[in-house]
A and B are shown apart, each in its own frame.
Chain A
Amino acid sequence: MSVLKLMPSALAGRKLATIGFLWLVLVLLAAVFAGVIAPFDPLELDPVNRLAEPGWPHLFGTDHFGRDTFSRALYGARMTVIIGVGSVVVALLSGGLIGMLSAYFTKLGHFLMRGVDVLMAFPALLMALVLITLLERSVANTIIVIGIVYATTTARILYGMTLKLKNEVFVDAAVCSGASHRSILFRHILPNLISPLLVQASFIFAFAQLQAAALDFLGLGLPPEVPSWGNMLSEERIYLTRAPWLLLYPGLLIILSVFSMNLVGDALRDNIDPRFKDDISGV
């Protein structure tokens, strides 16, 4: 069961979710082809044209160094995708593994899940702040930090589901057929967890955007020279009254992307689990 196969039926009859999905495709295209589409180098300084209003040739205007905001927004999309995918991979791999192993080997689970409980007791942003001060600011570290924050919830979810699955008769039947622990966990239990993992991935992707933007804004996320939507907000906030468009564009991009991701995630979840079917997300 792949995401692509699921998408058409998940989006059928959901206009908002379909628009969200199309927006995400647009962001993905922008990320991939940023180098081709961008009219300017996102790092190129042009002090003469600083704080130019949106128009031609600077579609979104320029920032206080005269850098083209439109080009920076395109490269920001690239960062969005990298941070999102990276965080999802880190969170699902580490959290998923911890949750599954904890549920399967109960003694190990007592130990590991208490660790997860401790991590969950910290507010997510506070934990990210602590971790990022221990590590240095870089793209990879931002991904690791956000990944760890969302690994805890992933571990919880998979822990519960694996506990239920491991008592299913087909697992007993697998044990009876002489399957090893590894084969039971990864060949018999894991395939049953793909759908919830998929839904979890879509929400982590959305939350990772907010988390990354918040970290950038606090000056603790990506290094300041990296063009990202969060960094753009952070750098230009003092020009709010003189050049409000500098905050409007990255802010709008963040909001639209997170909202779209949530809509698509909702649609996926509703489609996979009929118990969640409601009218609100289906409008």
Chain B
Amino acid sequence: MALLEVENLHIAVSVGGVLQPVVRGISFTVDDNETLGIVGESGCGKSMTSLAIMGLLEGTPVRITDGSIRYDGTELLQLSSKQRRAIMGNRMAMIFQEPMTSLNPVYRIGDQIIESLRQHKSISKKAARARAIELLDLVRIPNPSERVDSFPHQMSGGQRQRVMIAMALSCDPKLLIADEPTTALDVTVQKEVLELMSDLQERTGTAIIIISHDLGVIAETCDKVSVMYRGKIVEAGTTENLFERLAHPYTRGLLNSIPVVDHDVEWLEAIPGRVPTLGEELSGCAFHPRCPIATGLCIAKTPGDTYIAGNHAVKCHYADQVAS
């Protein structure tokens, strides 16, 4: 049994009373000490998936319409909000995309870490403060015993993201979800934050889910990758297998659209067309209008999983050809 098992998850957003599917039946698992990367364009449903796992869809027009999310064997979707709160922050934690706004501007950062610590553990204020300093040191904030009393606006973006990581790690969670953790940071800081996360994983054995649109980030940090397109996982496998033989035209397109520094290229390749809108109905493979190798078969029939090399699964009729 894996630590987190997501099975056949369907999420829909209610637009004017009509439910429009956003996530259409995705399944994945994450185990202790494992890092899963979820990649895809904006609007493919990757962030919705993370919000669903953390239970942040409550009070929004977004609904989970089917499927199950099991944490350590417990079905999260059937827990009361009180039972859920006991798990959140304690065993599962999340890091957000915007380090500039994810800390409360009116509190000192130390107080925020202490607050999230004392939410789940009965420890004294003094012990919590000592632990907060320790955590800040762990995420390599220089001079932590002084910085613990800083306000968020006194810190840089990279430092704030590290404070967020410290907060997320305060109760030693077994699962950490990072939604675009480095998107708002510049490249050098990005690298530091990613290294920090993998260091911490080595030390604590936490399972991590990284959600990103950046294949480079994913390739560097993840053990497993799931590529999402229009609410479905179109390609999944271990990072090694997947990047060795990209077998879905969409993943190929994503990789080709990354500029390569040491090549002199006039035109950067982009995936033609646009991301399908929410209500758009597409027959067969949802990628067919943008796919360079689409045929009549792709319009007529929804592709199932084709397995290439072990657990490397691809939803494409022509996976074998693309891979070779």
Is A178 a contact partner of B105 (Cβ separation < 8 A)? no
Within 8 A of A (CB), among B92-135: 92-94, 96-98, 101-107, 115-116, 119-120
Number of interface residues of A (CB under 8 A): 20
> What's the Cα separation between A180 and B116 when bound, in Å?
11
Which one of A88-96, A165-173, A216-224, A268-276 is at the B interface? A165-173
> Which residues of B are found within 8 Å of A173, using beta-carbon distances?
94, 96, 102-103, 164, 167
A residues whose Cβ falls under 8 Å from a Cβ of B? 1, 106, 168-170, 172-180, 183, 187-188, 191-192, 194
> What's the Cα separation between A168 and B168 when bound, in Å?
17
Given contacts A172-B96, A178-B90, 4 further A-B contacts (CB under 8 A): A172-B102, A173-B96, A178-B119, A183-B119
CB distance from A185 to the nearest CB of B (A): 13
Interface residues of A, dominant DSSP:
helix
> What's the Cα separation between A183 and B112 when bound, in Å?
12
Is A170 a contact partner of B88 (Cβ separation < 8 A)? no
> Which residues of A are found within 8 Å of B98, using beta-carbon distances?
169
Is B88 a contact partner of A169 (Cβ separation < 8 A)? no
Q: Is B86 an interface residue (CB 8 A)?
A: yes
CB distance from B152 to the nearest CB of A (A): 9
| Given A106-B59, A173-B96: A192 in contact with B164 (beta carbons within 8 A) | no
Is A170 a contact partner of B101 (Cβ separation < 8 A)? yes
> What's the Cα separation between A175 and B58 when bound, in Å?
10
> Which residues of B are found within 8 Å of A1, using beta-carbon distances?
106
> What's the Cα separation between A174 and B17 when bound, in Å?
30
Point out the residue from A106, A169, A187, A194 that lies within 8 Å of B102, measured CB to CB: A169
B162-184: CB near A (< 8 Å → 1, else 0) gives 00100110100000000000000
> What's the Cα separation between A221 and B87 when bound, in Å?
55
Number of inter-chain CB pairs below 8 Å: 70
| Given A172-B56, A183-B119: A177 in contact with B101 (beta carbons within 8 A) | no
> What's the Cα separation between A176 and B170 when bound, in Å?
12
> What's the Cα separation between A175 and B87 when bound, in Å?
11
Q: Is B215 an interface residue (CB 8 A)?
A: no
> Which residues of B are found within 8 Å of A177, using beta-carbon distances?
88-89, 93, 115-116, 119, 167-168, 170
Point out the residue from B89, B96, B97, B106 that lies within 8 Å of A191, measured CB to CB: B106
Residue of A nearest to B164 (CB): A173
A-B contact pairs, 5 of them (CB 8 A): A176-B56, A177-B167, A177-B168, A178-B89, A178-B120
Point out the residue from B54, B86, B105 that lies within 8 Å of A176, measured CB to CB: B54
Is A176 a contact partner of B106 (Cβ separation < 8 A)? no
